[in-house]
Amino acid sequence: MIALVLAGAMLAAAPANAFSLSTAGASAYGSYDRMMSIPERPVPPIAVSGTLAVNRPGQCAVVQIAYNGPADGIAWRTLSGLCRPGKTNFRATSQLLWGGAEPPLRLCAGPTTRIAEQGRNCDVYRP
């Protein structure tokens, strides 16, 4: 019973803008914020910051954010990548997608960075 109460308290303490992704020996976590802008100093409306962690030797992982690709399609921009056990921080800003949608984030893993960037083994965060 005490464990359930503690787990509930920990879940309640997480901010609404937090994200957590995991796949194949890698994880990413951090914050996804909608920014306010003023005409005198415009800023991109989306700000993402977090940590990418690889937990398994021989594993590569990338964190990517969606953007408007050619012909109104979705493309993915790599924010950070790591190909050894350890952690690295990332920070990026982004525009909204067509129609005003907030761009999703994804964590993808593979034996190389290039294969991870192809998006075959991923976990996706949709705000």
Query: Is CATH 2.60.40 the right assignment for the domain spanning 16-125?
Result: yes
Q: pLDDT tens-digit profile of 19-50?
A: 999 998 999 999 999 988 778 877 889 999 99
Task: Provide the residue ranges of all domains of the chain, joining segments of one domain with +.
Answer: 16-125
In angstroms, the CA 101 to CA 95 distance is 9
Which range is most confident: 3-17, 41-55, 62-76, 77-91? 77-91
Q: What is the mean pLDDT of residues 75-87?
A: 97
Tell me the average pLDDT across 69-90: 93
The predicted model scores a pTM of: 0.83
